[in-house]
Chains A and B, each alone.
Chain A
Amino acid sequence: MTEKKIRVLVAKPGLDGHDRGAKVVARALRDAGMEVIYTGLRQTPEMIAEAALQEDVDVVGLSVLSGAHMALAPRIMELLRVNGQTHVKVFIGGIIPDEDMHRLIEMGVAGVFGPGASTEDIIRDVQIAVAG
C-alpha cells in the first residue's frame, strides 16, 4: 500500500482578492509533504464543498481577510456535513477578531490563524488534527 498523503483544499471564499497568504500557506504545506488542491479566488461555499468532496480531502483551509468569515464558515461547514464529510477538519486564516475566533472553535472549526501565524504552527496543527 502506498503511503497516505494528507490532502488539503486551500480556498478563498467570497470576494476577497488578497491571495498572497493563501499561496504562502499552500507552498508551506507542500513543503511539509502534503498535497494541496489550490482553488484560487472567489469561491462560493458550494464550490468549496464540491471540490472538497471530489478531491476527498482531509482538511479545508479557508483564507478570509474581508471580515466575512462569520457568514462563510458556518455555511461551508454545513455543506460539508450535508455531503457526508464530517471528518474533514476546517482551518481558517486571515483577519479574525478574538471573539469570533472563540465562536468559530465552538462551531467546530479546528483552528484559526491570524496574521503573523507561523507556517510551522499551521503545519503542526494540521498534522495533529488529521491524526486525531
Chain B
Amino acid sequence: MTNSKAILNGDRLALARLLTNVENNTAEGRAALIELFPHTGKAHLIGVTGAPGTGKSSLVNQLALHYRKTEDRRVAILAVDPSSPFTGGAVLGDRVRMRDLSGDPNVFIRSMATRGSLGGLAQATANMVQVFDAAGFEIVIIETVGAGQSEVDIARLAHTTLVVEAPGLGDDIQAIKAGILEIADILVVNKADRPGVENTEKALKSMLELAHPAERVFKHHGTYMSVSVPKDNANTNMWIPPIQRTISTEGTGIAELADAIAKHSEYLRQTGDWSLRERIRLEVELEALIRESLLNRFREDVPQKTYEEVLEKVIQRDVSPWEAAKILLNGRLK
C-alpha cells in the first residue's frame, strides 16, 4: 500500500511520516502530495494568530474540544513556533496547553518550527495542511505567533483568521502591527477576566472604525449627506470582524466564538468568497511553483561561470542589470 492510500485509510504513523517528508520537501513528499491533491478542498482552515502571551494555545485547545464534543468533527492542529535564528533549533511548547485533547483518535496535533526560511515556510505549511485535508480532518487549525511577514502569509492560507489579543500586555493594542489587524476575520480578546479588557476592546473597535466607518459622509449635488453602514453582518455584502471575549482557561466564550466562525464560513460561501479565496490561493501556489521551476531550469542551462562573468560586467557598470538579465536569458555573452 502506498503512503497515500495508507493515509486515506486512517494510518496515523503514515500520516506523521508524510508530514515530515512534506515539511522537508522530499521527492517522496512531493509525489504523495500529487496523489492526495484530488482529496483536498474539504477542510475548514482556521488561522489563530497573535502576540505571545495572549493565550492562543489554550484557546486552540478549547476550540478543538468544542468541535469534538459538540459537533464530533475531526480536528487537526498545526502549531508553528519560531526557530532560533542563531542555532536553527527550536523549543516547540504549544502541546503543553493541549492535554485535554490527548487520547482522542480524531485529533492530531503537530508542532512545526519556522526554520528561518524566507518564503518556504508558507509553502511547507500549506502542503502540510493539504495532507491533513486529504486525510479527512474537517477542521484544521493553524496556530502562529503572527510577528512577521511569513506568519501573515500563513494566515492568508486560512478561510477564517482569528487574531487574539489580551488585556494588560503593555500597549493597549499589542497585536495591531501592520498587516495583522487587516487579516483578522474575528478579533478575540482572551483573558477577558483581566483588568483593562474594556480598554482593549475600545482600542480594537476604534481601529475597526477606521477601516470600516459606521457612517460615510459625502457630497451629493452640493449638499453633504451621511449614510449609516449597518453595524452587524446581516443583509450586507461586507464582513465586519466581530470582537469576541473569551477566557480560554475556563472555556468561557468558546461556544460563541465557534458560532462566529460558523457565521463567517456561511458568509464566505454565500458571497462566493470561499471559492474566490480557493482560486487565489491555488493560483498563487501554481505561480510560485512555475517560478521555482523556471529558475531551476535557468540554473541548469546557464553555467555558473557565464553568470559570474555577466555579473562582473554589471558590477563594473559596463552593463545594466536589465541588459544583463536579457543577455543571460538569451544564453550568450555579448
Contact = CB atoms under 8 A, between A and B. Distances in A.
Interface of A: 1-2, 4-5, 26-27, 29-40, 46-47, 50-51, 53-56, 83-85
Contacts of A33: 87-89
Given A1-B26, A2-B115, A83 B89 contact: no
A56 B92 contact: no
Interface of A, secondary structure class, is: mixed
Interface in B70-108: 83-84, 87-93, 95-96, 99, 102-103, 108
Contacts of B91: 26-27, 30, 36, 38
Given A2-B120, A50-B102, A37 B25 contact: no
B84 A31 contact: yes
A47 B12 contact: no
Contact of B84 (A30, A39, A46, A50): A30
19 contacts: A4-B24, A5-B89, A26-B91, A31-B84, A31-B87, A35-B92, A36-B91, A36-B92, A38-B92, A38-B95, A39-B96, A40-B93, A40-B99, A47-B102, A53-B12, A53-B16, A54-B12, A55-B16, A56-B20
Interface string B106-129: 001111010101001000100000
A36 B89 contact: yes
Given A33-B89, A55-B16, A84-B13, A40 B108 contact: no
A56 B16 contact: yes
Contacts of A39: 95-96
Nearest to A28: B89
A31 B99 contact: no
B103 A47 contact: yes
Nearest to A44: B102
Contacts, number: 86
A31 B84 CA distance: 8
Contacts of B93: 37-38, 40
Contacts of A83: 13
Given A40-B96, A54-B109, A32 B120 contact: no
Given A1-B25, A4-B24, A32-B89, A37 B111 contact: yes
B23 interface: yes
A30 to B, nearest CB: 4
Given A1-B26, A40-B95, A40-B96, 13 more contacts: A2-B124, A5-B89, A5-B115, A29-B89, A34-B89, A38-B91, A47-B99, A51-B109, A54-B12, A54-B108, A55-B111, A56-B20, A85-B13
A46 B115 CA distance: 29
A22 to B, nearest CB: 11
A47 B110 CA distance: 14
Which among B23, B26, B102, B124 has the highest number of chain A CB atoms within 10 Å?
A: B102
A5 B89 CA distance: 8
